[in-house]
Amino acid sequence: MAEQLALLPGYLTSHLQLSLAALLLGVSLSVPLGVWVSRNARLESGVLGAASVLQTIPSLALLALMVPVLAGVAAGVAGLGVELRSIGFLPAVVALTLYSVLPILRNTVTGIGGVDPALVEAARGVGMTDRQRLLRVELPLALPVIVAGVRTATVWVVGTATLATPVGATSLGNYIFSGLQTRNFTAVLVGSVAAAALAIALDGLVRLLERGLVGRSPVAVATALGIGLALCAYAGGAFVASSTSTPGGRVTIGAKTFTEQYILSRILAGRIEGETGLETEVVQSLGSTVAFDALRSGEIDVYVDYSGTIWATIMKREGLPEDRAAVLEGVREYLAREHGIALACALGFENTYALAMRGDDARARGVRTISDLARVAPQLEIGGDYEFFVRAEWKALEARYGLRFREQRAMDAALMYQAVDAREVDVISAYSTDGRIAALDLVLVEDDRGVIPPYDAIVLASPQLAAERPEVLRALSALSGRIDERRMQAMNRAVDEQGRAPAEVARAFLEDLASGS
Amino acid sequence: MIELRGLTKTYAGRNVVDDLNLEVAAGELLVLLGSSGCGKTTTLKMINRLIEPTSGSVRIGGRDALATPGHELRRRIGYGFQQVGLFPHMSVAENVSVTPSLLGWEPERIRARVDALLEMVQLDPADFRDRDPARLSGGEQQRVGIARALAAEPEVLLLDEPFGALDPLTRDHLQQALQKIRAALGLTVVFVTHDMVEALLLGDRIAVLRDGALVQVGTPAALLARPADAGVAELMATPRRQAQVVDALLEGGGDG
């Protein structure tokens, strides 16, 4: 608990930055837009319709979509000397801002439209211009309705900001994503409670401002504005401080959304700090392709991927995979040639997709190989992580073994293992290094036809890092072959089953490494 | 003071005001009289351009009203209407001082003006100045409405059935108050009503409108003596006939 709470100031500050930036942008975009729409009745259905459509996009998808969209924009403006980051703060703020538009826009239109026509006529009759009528009569009278929209947006934005973690923006969602992956429910709870508390606090602040304005109480207005400005100043100050304290010296390490990645990112960070004295920063819980795109564009410097993933997803190779060394060489050569990305080393273990079953079940059905499994598959149910069933490996398994299950279900990777253990499904797309395989007495079904490509864990370095920081590359290359399968499984189990922190496990590994060499 | 020439308003191909010609002398109160839909309100609103005429001209004090930006024109012309339209988020004093503040008057001058106007409409400034409009009776609201219309010292006042929603006693008080104020300020007033009694009580002259056209204009006495047609004659006879019915009731009832 104390360990989780120590992370709170950082996560909370980032969350506050995201929420405040999105809300301020949202208000300054939506209120003028709402005024404009309320002046042009013909636009109303079109603009409100567009905002509603935007709102129906699931928030997680909207956030994820911002990454390629911003990458496209970034490529477009790069020629103008403008550098845009397509992961992290920017895509999250853009998506959250869009998400806040509808409630504020709709309430602005409704609020202005709801002003008594007699008052509009009176405002014109006393000689107000359109602008004066808006500022002195319509907006003040629509204020309670507009503020209600802002309050709705506040709660939405603070809640949705927890989903900014997979696009690389730190938020209270970091607690939730990593907590779910590492079965640390204290972390999930801390993140959820903190997000809820922040939503309530900001909502209360907006309400205080509203009461002050409507009740014409200068004290309430001043208090609300004072607190609001202080929060903005704090969030803005922290933002400036964090973005100016990276004088190019800091190495950014990415991690995807599972336990092994959390541990490995800490190992890489510790290794780099120990060997080069450079500062490091870990951006965790990135989506799988988000991580690769971020490395390619240099927004992260280093992360661990798997040769088979690059082979299948990035190189889009089909057909029979070559042996482990050949795939590794193919990947190394391709990454260097196509993207300038350096393959610093292979860590020494494979984390492959492997079909896993309960041990007793496999023995009872006489399943040892996937060929055996194909015979009984029509009676069985398979569970896979979100991407498994659309990946090339699954298509190849289906085609080469004629695998047909009674039913297939995509689910969160963290829940797959519980599902097979609880007999909710019979087969899962396990990761071969997962600590839970041994812990739950699961067995891996052998890929007897060699369909699944090798998944060597490889450390990738961005083009910039490869070119400008040879010392970092050297420090990482020395990790080559230092982690075998058993060691990785043990480390994963230490986090998933024994509840130890990834950073702690990584530290123990680095100490062993130092004393061993 | 006010000159309407060939004034026409067309909505969807129909002339709701059709080639209207009227003059209002300085200091005169002209009543625009007619049943609902006759075009009297449209005519009134074309004078201060709350409604833009389709064709024709409006001259006020010899100046072409259509050549001035609408909001500047309206700051020089007082305007009051049945719903009053007091701004609920402003106090009585703030409501009254709207137009002067739009014109950039000094705060001191505005404060003095507000108190003088509240006195004029018979509301105690000390009591009413800081009240919310929600805490006023209908009659008080209309008094504040008239004070607001007069705030920027206009020479012309346009009133659209201002007393239509008030009880008879309050209406009577306000009609008398209006007469006093207009005499004191020498105001030129155009007053829209469908109430024949009100027209007779207040009007120096009455303009009778029907289907967007002017049927007859003249002093109440002239209209009574020489109605232009049977419709006008019947209209003018109504108050007297009602009075006779009331008299008969009172005499015959015995116990009244």
Yes or no, beta carbons of A119 and B74 under 8 Å apart: no
Kindly state the average pLDDT of the residues B43-59.
93
- Compute the nearest-CA separation of A206 from chain B (Å): 20
Yes or no, beta carbons of A128 and B86 under 8 Å apart: no
What whole-number distance in Å separates Cα of residue A387 and Cα of residue A429? 10
What whole-number distance in Å separates Cα of residue A321 and Cα of residue A307? 11
Yes or no, beta carbons of B89 and A141 under 8 Å apart: yes
Q: Residue A116: its chain B contacts at CB < 8 A?
A: 85
pLDDT reading at A499 higher than 90: no
What whole-number distance in Å separates Cα of residue B176 and Cα of residue A420? 91
One-letter amino acid identity for A389?
F
Q: Residue B134: its chain A contacts at CB < 8 A?
A: none
Report pLDDT digits (tens) over B124-151. 999 999 999 999 998 899 999 999 999 9
Residue with more model confidence, A386 or B78: B78
SS3 A21: helix
What whole-number distance in Å separates Cα of residue B153 and Cα of residue A498? 85
Whole-number pLDDT of residue A454: 84
pLDDT reading at A431 higher than 90: no
Q: Kindly report which listed range (A129-133, A166-170, A365-369, A371-375) carries the lowest average pLDDT score.
A: A166-170
Tokens representing residue B36 in the block? 């609902």
Kindly state the average pLDDT of the residues A302-315.
87
Kindly state the average pLDDT of the residues A116-133.
93
Q: Kindly report which listed range (A221-230, A234-243, A438-447, B82-91) carries the lowest average pLDDT score.
A: A234-243
Assess contact for B16 and B201: CB atoms under 8 A: no
pLDDT reading at B254 higher than 60: no
Mean pLDDT over the full length of chain B: 90
pTM above 0.90, yes or no: no
What whole-number distance in Å separates Cα of residue A470 and Cα of residue A188? 39
pLDDT reading at B122 higher than 50: yes
β partners of residue A254: A283
Nearest to B102 among A119, A128, A141 (CB): A128
Yes or no, beta carbons of B81 and A124 under 8 Å apart: no
Tell me the percentage of chain B whose pLDDT exceeds 70.
98
Half-sphere exposure of B94 (CA within 13 A, CB side): 13
Assess contact for A440 and A492: CB atoms under 8 A: no
Kindly state the average pLDDT of the residues A220-228.
88
Structure-derived torsion over alpha carbons of residues B60, B61, B63, B64, reported in degrees to the nearest 10:
10
Report pLDDT digits (tens) over A163-189. 988 888 889 998 888 887 777 888 899
Tokens representing residue A267 in the block? 């190992």
What whole-number distance in Å separates Cα of residue A32 and Cα of residue A13? 29
Whole-number pLDDT of residue B256: 44
pLDDT reading at A367 higher than 60: yes
pLDDT reading at A218 higher than 90: no
Position B253 confidence tier, pLDDT thresholds 50, 70, 90: low
Position A244 confidence tier, pLDDT thresholds 50, 70, 90: low
pLDDT reading at A472 higher than 70: yes
Position A194 confidence tier, pLDDT thresholds 50, 70, 90: very high
Q: Residue B76: its chain A contacts at CB < 8 A?
A: 127
pLDDT reading at B121 higher than 80: yes
Neighbours of A390 (CB within 10 A): 10
Report pLDDT digits (tens) over A313-343. 788 776 656 688 888 898 999 999 999 999 9
pLDDT reading at B164 higher than 60: yes
Whole-number pLDDT of residue A318: 66
Nearest to A125 among B72, B79, B89 (CB): B79
Q: Kindly report which listed range (A139-148, A160-169, A370-379) carries the lowest average pLDDT score.
A: A160-169
Yes or no, beta carbons of B74 and A126 under 8 Å apart: yes
What whole-number distance in Å separates Cα of residue A513 and Cα of residue A265? 16
Kindly state the average pLDDT of the residues A361-375.
93
- Surface of A (70-129) touching B: CB under 8 A: 116, 118-119, 121-129
Kindly state the average pLDDT of the residues B111-117.
93
Whole-number pLDDT of residue B88: 94
What whole-number distance in Å separates Cα of residue A457 and Cα of residue A479? 11
Kindly state the average pLDDT of the residues B5-21.
90
What whole-number distance in Å separates Cα of residue B115 and Cα of residue B46? 31
